[in-house]
Amino acid sequence: MFMEAIAKGINLPISTKHTTEVARNIRNKDLAKSMKFLQEVIEMRTAVAFKRFNNDRAHRKGKGMGPGAYPQKASKALLKLLRSAMNNAIQKGMNPENLKVSRVEVGMGVSKHRRSNRRLGRQTNILIEVKEND
């Protein structure tokens, strides 16, 4: 039987560009490895390689690493959603050791005016889907 678990984050106050780069790094990986990677990014031990949104981005240490950064806010949001997806999978009776991040979708949310600095506040929508490895 084909089973999946989903977690969504709607209108999160984080950068869509940073979230897109982090999501590219965790897509199609084991859930445990993805969570460990995000924790290392939050602690600034591992950088995220920026492939698309890398203008004026400095190079970072690491094997095969070019332009990169430590997007902590986006990593915290994705880590929270990964934990939510894992809990949803456990609730459905799936084995948490065999979970794989099969889909990560990132999109722009609603833009709202922020009163303090008179500019648009960008928001991001995220969808994470995990499946069991066969």
Specify the pLDDT at position 114: 64
pLDDT tens-digit readout, 13-71 = 999 999 999 999 999 999 999 999 999 999 999 999 888 888 887 788 877 778 888 99
What is the domain class of 4-132 according to CATH?
Answer: alpha beta
Q: What is the mean pLDDT of residues 107-124?
A: 76
Domain borders along the chain are 4-132
pLDDT tens-digit readout, 75-106 = 999 999 999 999 999 999 999 999 999 999 99
For helices 16-26 and 72-91, the axis angle rounded to 10 degrees is: 50
Distances (CA, A) of 86 to 4, 61, 127, 128: 10, 31, 13, 10
Rg over CA atoms, the chain: 16
pTM: 0.88
